[in-house]
Amino acid sequence: MKPQFLIGSPTSGCGKTTFMLGMLRVLQRRGMKVQPFKCGPDFIDPQYHAIACNCESVNLDAWLASRTHIQSVYNHYAEPADVCIIEGNRGLYDGYNRMENSSAALSRMLNVPVILVINARAIGYAIAPVLYGMKRFNASIRIVGVVFTQVASQSHEISLREACIDVGIECLGYLPVEEDIRLPQRHQGLTLSVKRSFSKLIDRIADLVEKHVDVEKLLNLCTRIFPCPYTLPYTSEVGIDMLHRPDRRLRIAVARDPAFCFLYRENVDRLAEAGRITYFSPVYGSDLPEADYVYIPGGCPELFVRQLHRRKRLMSQLREYVEAGGRLWAEGEGMTFLSRSLTVRQGGTAYEMAGILPFDCTLVDANPSNGYRLTRCGNNTFKGYESHYSVLALSSDIRISATSLYGLRGTETAARLFRYKNLIAGYAHWYWGENDIFSLWN
């Protein structure tokens, strides 16, 4: 038995992340080992979770992975923890097809209850029918309590508590209006100085949680049997530890720093099973380690474009590695480091990059692009999530292999997966917890 719960909301913007970070820090202060999870493919919130409790967060996404795999991953990472908290995604019941892949569906899949977080800035007792509908909309989703945010006064709090009493749902507390408590911009490089200031902000949020939320009652309400049971029919013949055959002889180099930080925890652990990982930092001027495989993940290199532009030695090493047949995987904005140039603003400098891929990248007139992506390679199906700010400036005479990617409904998208020799790159961030990523080079 251990406390396990998912933090959900009727809509986005209710304060799920703020409350999540406060709870993580409160539990850490109490000496408890807490394992954070994130519903969906998001990379930013998991980084915040790690700052709050000094434990890497794990993504759980029912489109990227099978039900059995998600249950296995949850049990695997939750096993050593005292408390497990999942931060939901969007509205509680929002999925790509009604409830499919929603936070509610994940709570049901893992057999964990839901704590609602509701923004009460412009509502009082009238929240009652909202609570009533959220609780009774689907009997399989167990909403056990609610925490309100943006509560303006004691009388405001009393009205909200009265609504909870009449609906029959536990009011576990609130977070008051604090205009100066704002999370940083989501598109921001988490340097050491930013992490330190952000950690101080989390401390302030935790102080409010300890003062205004009944943490003990919350944990008692959410204590459930662990591990979560596997749902039949069991869809995999192997457990999480047998998905790949370890080969410790492989040398795997992974770029990891404030510019290249969008990594799925499960992906890194699967690489670690196959060989020895060595991290290197393009931002801080590392050399390319000797490697059989190189992985450059996504992130926000545009925020560090001047530093990256100066890394001529590393860019030369990457060019030599690829031209010699080295196997390199680059995804998301990590691909821009391998392009000819990166332009950040209108009229700004086109900063020279590694020049391995024959196109330029720009943020000028670019709109954020995101969505689930799928591709097939032999007998393998790879799934991922595309999220980026830059766009490619492709010439009509480009000579490079490109594979089509498909979206949720199976329709072809504008996104492509490029290949040059043994370099494979694209804007989508791929999840290979259930796939053999090395099969792409077979």
Please write the tens of the pLDDT for every residue from 82-95. 999 999 999 999 98
DSSP state of 260: B
Average pLDDT, whole number, for the chain? 90
Q: What are phi and psi of 156, to 5 degrees?
A: -65, -45
Q: Is the pLDDT of residue 145 over 50?
A: yes
User: Residues 431, 383: contact at Cβ < 8 Å?
Assistant: yes
DSSP state of 298: B
State in Å, rounded, how far the first CA of the chain is from the last one.
Answer: 45
Q: Is the pLDDT of residue 194 over 50?
A: yes
Tell me what the mean pLDDT of segment 388-404 comes to.
Answer: 75
Q: Is the pLDDT of residue 245 over 50?
A: no
Handedness of CA 263, 265, 269, 272 (dihedral sign): positive
Return the structure tokens found at 415.
């996104």
Stated pTM of the model: 0.91
Return the structure tokens found at 423.
């370099």
In whole angstroms, how far apart are CA 255 and each of 55, 279, 290, 334, 357?
20, 6, 13, 9, 18
User: Residue 171: is it exposed, middle or buried by C-beta count within 10 angstroms (0-12/13-18/19+)?
Assistant: buried
Q: What is the reported pLDDT for 71?
A: 94
Q: What is the reported pLDDT for 401?
A: 80
Q: What is the reported pLDDT for 380?
A: 81
CA atoms lying within 13 Å on the CB side of residue 224? 20
Measured CA to CA, the distance from residue 106 to residue 104 in angstroms comes to 5
Please write the tens of the pLDDT for every residue from 2-19. 999 999 999 988 999 999
**Residue appearing with tokens 């939320």:** 213
Q: What percent of the chain has pLDDT over 90?
A: 71
Measured CA to CA, the distance from residue 152 to residue 338 in angstroms comes to 50
Please write the tens of the pLDDT for every residue from 101-125. 899 999 999 999 999 999 999 999 9
Return the structure tokens found at 73.
């991953």
Degrees, nearest 5: CA angle 226-230-233? 170
Of 139 and 248, the one with more pLDDT: 139
**Residue appearing with tokens 């990166």:** 342
Please write the tens of the pLDDT for every residue from 256-294. 999 999 999 999 999 999 999 999 999 998 899 999 999
